[in-house]
A and B are shown apart, each in its own frame.
Chain A
Amino acid sequence: MTEFNFLASLPAIAPEIGLTIMAVVVLALDLYLPESQRHRIATVTAVGLIGTALVSLALWAPTPDTTGLYWGGMVRHDMLALIFKVMILFAGALTALMAVDSAGVGRKGEFYLIMIVSTLGACLISGAADLIMVFLALETTTIPLYVLAAFKRGDARSSESGMKYFLFGSFASAILLYGLSWLYGFTGQTNLYAIAEYLGSPAFSASAFPVLAALTLIVVGFGFKISAAPFHFWTPDVYEGAPTPVTAFLSVASKAGSFALLLRFLVATFPGAVVINGQEIQNFWVQLVTVLAVISMTFGNVVALAQRNIKRLLAYSSIAQAGYTLIGLAAVQVSSTSNGEQAVAAIAYYMFMYTFTNLLAFAVIVLFSEATGTETISDFAGLSRRNPWMALTMTIALLSLAGVPPAAGFFGKFFLFNAAVQADLVWLAIVGVLNSIIALYYYLVIIKVMYVDKGKDEDKPIPMSPTYVWATAGTTLIVVLLGTFGVQPIFDWALQAGRALLNT
């Protein structure tokens, strides 16, 4: 940190630089393109974001003699950050593609601009290594999302959604900020790694209680961001009211970024080595996370059973999915490094596959609700006759969410439960698998509606634009590959992320 090498520091924020350029490009295009050509902005955005992801992958050259901290310790450049940045960039690209035909959204340049800014924030979150950066990045992600949620100004539901999201979001941010300020107060440090060092050193002699309180506040703040129960209140309403592409984006990008940060925060700042007055801080957060996981899974799945609106259903399902992912976090017990690595890798893999899976499901919903104007599950009846490809795609997405092979979710869940069993949390794994059975019920019901039930509009096929066909086909292929042939390379990648996080 002593010496600042500008060129060497650039790769650490390569995705962010790319995103900034894209933001400017989109802004310019919005000014120059006539109304009829504006839909091309979506393609440009998608290509730009995917290009950025590929460039960041190509630039991946960690210098082994550094600590991986760049820009004055603000940003950490490691595999964990990279894998999450890549998935967030893909999430942005796919969201842009699915927004094209969305009425009131797709033809407006500012939509893409705001989304890119939010993506930028989410990328920063994944690498944030300093309390200042943590807060700035979180706000850069969520403030654009408040705007996006309320994007359809004429639509009361959308405005309500934006308002609710704003109120709950700022409340959560305030709690988080309060927690961060406590942490700074005890340690006088803002860098996460420096805090860990200070807490572990004899210089720190305060009692454990205030640290635990700060930790609790921070976990609560993050709980809002990842929509874990009992901090999920905003989720169903915001998901339902926001324009569907926005829902898709916020269900994956901000969640993935927040998980990356939560992982880094808990594992790097409060590792097993931190013992205060004979109490391992790690045990405390593991218990906290375990409780959150059980509540989120059970609550999310049980309430999802009663939903009639597909977006609300996916909102509760996303609460449950956050619960499954938290199982992995609870299993990151640093006592044995290889177990910890596998748990971190399981989380990264789960988020990776969840990003594609959830976007696939939302892509079908966007298309369906644009064509029919409804989001009620029972209106999906007869979809397998109206557009067999959409029904099949949706089926694969739902199976992946449910964790049924050959879709990616099977491996995703398997890795998480495996991590839990390895960390001696067999009971938590059992709770997880039983929950996945509950979840299977409501996913199967949707599949049943699409294939079995007779709809009143069965003779009206739903058209699909070529962009959509390609985007859904590509995503479907990725979801299936992540459950079959592509598991080994991606999981290895995720394991490297785990190594990067734990062997600091």
Chain B
Amino acid sequence: MVNSVTFPVLSLLIFIPIIAGVIILFIPRDNKDLIRGIAITAAFSVFGLGLFTYISYNNTVGEMRAAQDAIIAEGGDLTGTRLYDTTLVFEERVVWVESLGITYHLGVDGLSVPMVLLTSMVTITGVLVSWRVEDRTREFMAFFLLLVAGVFGVFVANDLFVLFFFYELAIFPMYLLIATWGWVKLREYAAMKLTLYILIGSVVALVGAIAMVLQANNFFINEGAQVFADAVQSGLLPADSQEFSFSITQLTLAAEAGAFDLPFLGDLSFARLWFPFIFIGFAVLAGVFPFHNWSPDGHVAAPTAVSMIHAGVLMKVGAYAALRVGVQLMPDGAQVHLPWIVFLTLINVVYGAFIAFRQRDFKYVIGFSSVSHMGLVSMGWATMNLIGMTGAGLQMFSHGAMTALFFGCVGMVYDRAHTRDIPSLGGFIKVMPWVGVAFIVGGLTSMGMPGFSGFVAEFPIFVGMWNASPNISLQIGDFVLSNYYSVLVILAALGIVITAAYVLRVTGQVFFGEFKRENFPDVTDITLRERFVLIFLGAPLLILGLYPQIMEPMLVTGLRPVLALLGVST
């Protein structure tokens, strides 16, 4: 559905940060106020656009649902693709490399809109917490904005190539930001590890994507010629479409018409062969076990703003791309492979929480808690039903804001106390009440307390697991394992208990107890700017927790196409 808005909102989301970054590079390096001014202006501009996108999507979500209901009622072969086409708005489409079917095609759907809003929020807070970066401020802000542009690009891409382009674009500024401005002891090692882990996953997925496009091309030329002609005829695909195309809509069509279920290697279909590589290739960035190892080190080594955007947004990029490219385009592969991948996510949830409990370093606690919470997102994808996946969508937003808040708090404490060793801290709520309260809000979200967004996110995931249990079985040779999701969900709930334990432990040791002024002579309360950051990130946790209706309907519109492709009625 091509929206009638001619204002290129999504392109601006990408290009405002890039242009601001380039301008910043040409400002004399000593003019730091101007540099910060441009950065914050750009950040507020993208926030305005992000909010605009969110609100306008939310305003039309009722109509969209009605339109989707009509399509579902009508039924037919291509329900999933048509649902996806309905939910896609703010589309922009310019042919980029014609001979290879690459189009600069942007569009947001119900899944990406919350992510766009989250990214724009973290951008503002990231610039604000980096206000006092004095070493090469110019380069810092320029690279930070470039990173933000890359992240926006992934969320708004509706062309597989464009998605990869921005995905890789985001990686390099991240490397420099961590390696140059990070924590001296760990930064070079952590930055390199992070970059290599993430890139290995993504380049393997890239080869898979090319193979996928080729497979779709062969399908549309031979068996699916009629499907393709009909889709162009009915306006589902643009009139200038060609068979060889990276368009996600077109690949969704191919997936639904069965292009990836044809035998590819021997009896194995394309979807079944490539799904693990593509899904896990992206999920590396979401910290899936056993490829989670880069994440805590990376988070700890990064400067505060980068930890915030990294754990807050970038890990969601991984989860989002795994769903968008993995599950949506290869539903048959998802049905075969997610039943075992769910074990990895369970390890994420429980093991991540255990490790977090054992940390002495304040920042490592949060780093491992991200691994644990992101496991819940992947687990939500693995439920393959509406309630579980909606929960995962909410968890992406909730965890994004929460973990950015956590890293903000850690940064504010560390900037003043110059240590992150938990046992030597104590009583900080007395001198930094705002940070203490914000951390407690984040902590309550983290352990899934009702009234906070963590509850409305995690509870549906568990319900989804429970509901999915009778429908899912895992076949290993002759042995069939069935109804095991119900066991996994009980184990995963254990992760929540441990989460509560480490959150309470850290809160108690850092913020309560006796404050030793002699150890921390310079510690003062935070500035107005920092209070703004905490409110800005903390408030959504409460709003979403008390009124999930603000986000849930749009996630449902975004998830219905995926579920229709998976053959689940919604």
Residues of A that sit less than 8 Å from B by CB: 342, 345, 384-385, 388, 392, 399, 404-406, 410-411, 414-415, 417-418, 421-422, 426, 429-430, 433-434, 436-437, 440-441, 444-445, 447-448, 451-452, 487-488, 491-492, 495
Contacts and interface: CB of A to CB of B under 8 A. Distances in A.
Given A399-B172, A451-B176, A492-B99, 9 more contacts: A342-B99, A417-B210, A421-B214, A426-B207, A433-B203, A433-B207, A444-B175, A448-B179, A495-B99
A452 B180 contact: yes
B195 A388 contact: no
Closest CB pairs A-B (n = 10): A433-B203, A421-B210, A405-B169, A451-B180, A429-B207, A452-B180, A404-B172, A452-B179, A405-B165, A418-B210
A422 B214 contact: yes
Residue among B99, B138, B196, B214 with the highest chain A CB neighbour number at 10 A: B99
A255 B191 CA distance: 34
B196 A441 contact: yes
Given A437-B199, A451-B179, A487-B96, A384 B211 contact: no
Contacts of A434: 200, 203
29 contacts: A384-B136, A388-B138, A404-B171, A404-B172, A405-B169, A410-B165, A411-B97, A417-B210, A418-B210, A421-B210, A421-B214, A422-B210, A422-B214, A430-B204, A433-B206, A434-B200, A441-B196, A444-B192, A444-B195, A448-B191, A451-B139, A451-B179, A452-B187, A487-B97, A488-B96, A488-B98, A491-B97, A491-B99, A495-B99
B210 A388 contact: no
A interface: dominant SS: helix
B385 to A, nearest CB: 34
Nearest to B211: A421
B222 to A, nearest CB: 14
Contacts of A388: 29, 138-139
Contacts of A429: 207, 210
Contacts of B297: none
Contacts of A451: 139, 176, 179-180
A503 to B, nearest CB: 16
Interface of B: 25, 29, 95-100, 136, 138-139, 161, 165-166, 168-169, 171-172, 175-176, 179-180, 187-188, 191-192, 195-196, 199-200, 203-204, 206-207, 210-211, 214
Contacts, number: 90
Nearest to A406: B169
A388 B165 CA distance: 26
Contacts of A495: 99
A444 B96 CA distance: 29
A83 to B, nearest CB: 15
A429 B209 CA distance: 12
A378 to B, nearest CB: 14
Contacts of B176: 447, 451
B381 to A, nearest CB: 25
A430 B207 contact: yes
Contacts of A422: 210, 214
Contacts of A342: 99-100
A482 B527 CA distance: 45
Residue among B95, B138, B210, B211 with the highest chain A CB neighbour number at 10 A: B210
Contacts of A399: 172
B98 A440 contact: no
A445 B189 CA distance: 11
Nearest to B199: A437
A437 B204 CA distance: 11
A399 B196 CA distance: 14
A482 to B, nearest CB: 12
